[in-house]
Amino acid sequence: MATPHRPRTGSSSPSNEALAVEAANGETALLIIDMISSWDFPDAEKLLPGAVAITPSIVALKRRCKARGVPAIYVNDNRGRWRSDFNALVGLSMQSGGPGADITASLAPDHDDYFVLKPQQSAFVATPLEQLLGVLKARRLIVTGVASDQCVMSTATDARMHGFEVVLPRDCTATQTARRHAMLLEQCETVFGIATTSGPRIRLPAARSRKR
């Protein structure tokens, strides 16, 4: 099984920064699903406007999470590129230009973020995500990204079956149409018991006290 890595972005850092050595504060982790993309797949033009609309909300939520010691994990389809990696996907997205590149620029991963590449809709299928969450000691997942009624939903329901608490913020997820997204949110709450609290209202752990 592949080892999860941190993006090689920003300034250089000690080699041990590539290791997941600090537990997630409040046992909470943020998942950002399929927002880094070249948007060159079938029907991408129908999904892209929703992704553009939720980007500021995800950026704001990630900023809050990072300030509270909640790690961010980028989860992306490998799109059949078995010789690729996350940094290559970031590069391809930026080269594609347009709104997709703007999303990637806004959500550019930090050097201390994590990433996982997935071959299927769920982030738990044939990936090291559960292993990474175990190392981070995370038991509560905030699941964001696209498409809310496909990869996001598959990941959220799988997370519940693996025993995680799940929050799916309504303003940080989107799909091809507003009607489909509304149906998904209702199903989450009434069928699966998944909270759909908006990003600004999500309860986060208190910031860790600074060591002297």
Which tokens sit at 138?
């995370």
Q: What is the pLDDT of residue 12?
A: 41
* Both structure tokens of 183: 């149906």
Q: Count of CB atoms within 10 A of residue 203's CB?
A: 10
Tokens at 187, concatenated = 């199903």
Tokens of 5: 């890595």
Single-letter residue type at 192: F
Q: Are 81 and 202 in contact (CB under 8 A)?
A: no
Are the CB atoms for 146 and 107 separated by under 8 Å? no
pTM here is 0.90
Name the DSSP letter for residue 127.
Answer: S
Pairing of strands 140-146, 114-118: unpaired
Burial class (CB in 10 A: 0-12, 13-18, 19+), 190: exposed
Rounded distance, CA 55 to CA 57, Å?
Answer: 5
Structure tokens, 208: 């860790």
Report pLDDT for 3.
42
Give the CATH class of 21-201: alpha beta
Residue type, 127: T
Write down the pLDDT at residue 165. 98
So what's the pLDDT on residue 211?
A: 58
Do 93 and 37 meet the contact criterion of CB atoms below 8 Å apart?
Answer: yes
- Run means of pLDDT, 10 residues per run, the chain, 212 residues: 49 50 93 95 94 98 97 88 78 94 96 94 96 97 97 97 97 97 96 97 90 54
pLDDT in tens, 6-18: 555 544 444 455 5
